[in-house]
Homo-oligomer: A and B are copies of this chain.
């Protein structure tokens, strides 16, 4: 008679199947964009009923790890899907238009994690990290300047040239070059005044109010794999959020 009050004494089968599928994803058994085996095949493989596999996949699809397509199959989600882009960048033009966005990398250097970065990435103070700086433009107009920190071991030999050569989103690049897929993120938002550097880069007056958006992004298994601070110009754009 166990006396563990806090630990859920019981783990449903479909959650165990869910874990096995996530493990297979983390092990790159199926790559982003690829189709995974049918529900029947997975049921046979895990020796459970199709309904149990179905429930596991349902939850993973709700978390955007998988994508169901009726009549075709179930696919590994990918940032190459344009819908994924706006799930992570919530800045949109006030007029409702859909901008052509373009990332302009400025810098990519190796350095050691400071206190703040180490804590956010759950690594040790002094561990090697990559620092990127980049501008994001909407239809040519600079709207965001980002400072991005990555744990170096997950992104071996990432160079400024690689970043410049890509016309896709950063997360798409991380996914295809390093197999690191960002699955969810948390953001802390504040209002700050533009400093001289940000003002120059964004083409605004120093002191202009900007959104400061600090983000920690997580890959499979809730492992933090990126920390960034963005400064968003909100003269003609706004951060959109849905409260469910």
A residues at B contact (CB < 8 Å): 63-64, 87-88, 90, 184-193, 207, 209-211, 215, 232, 234, 238-244
> In the complex, are the beta carbons of A210 and B211 less than 8 A apart?
no
**A192: chain B residues within 8 A (beta carbon):** 191, 209
> In the complex, are the beta carbons of B185 and A243 less than 8 A apart?
yes
Copies in the complex: 2
**A243: chain B residues within 8 A (beta carbon):** 87-88, 90, 184-187, 215
CB-nearest residue of chain B relative to A88? B243
CB-nearest residue of chain B relative to A211? B191
| Contact partner, A239, options B88, B189, B234, B238, Cβ 8 Å | B189
A207 and B205 alpha carbons, distance in the complex (Å): 14
> In the complex, are the beta carbons of A63 and B244 less than 8 A apart?
yes
A174 and B97 alpha carbons, distance in the complex (Å): 35
Say yes or no: A186-B241 contact (C-beta < 8 A), given A191-B209, A211-B191: yes
**A241: chain B residues within 8 A (beta carbon):** 90, 186-189, 241
Q: A63-B244, A190-B234 are in contact. List 8 more A-B contacts (CB 8 A).
A: A184-B242, A185-B242, A186-B241, A187-B241, A188-B239, A188-B240, A189-B211, A191-B192
Which label, helix, strand, loop or mixed, suits the secondary structure of the A interface? strand
> In the complex, are the beta carbons of B211 and A193 less than 8 A apart?
no
A170 to chain B, nearest CB (A): 14
What are 20 A-B pairs at a CB distance below 8 A?
Answer: A63-B244, A184-B244, A185-B243, A186-B242, A187-B241, A187-B242, A187-B243, A188-B238, A188-B240, A189-B211, A189-B239, A190-B211, A190-B234, A191-B192, A191-B209, A191-B210, A192-B209, A193-B209, A207-B207, A209-B209
A194 to chain B, nearest CB (A): 9
**A187: chain B residues within 8 A (beta carbon):** 240-243
CB-nearest residue of chain B relative to A232? B191
**A244: chain B residues within 8 A (beta carbon):** 63-64, 87, 184
> In the complex, are the beta carbons of A189 and B189 less than 8 A apart?
yes
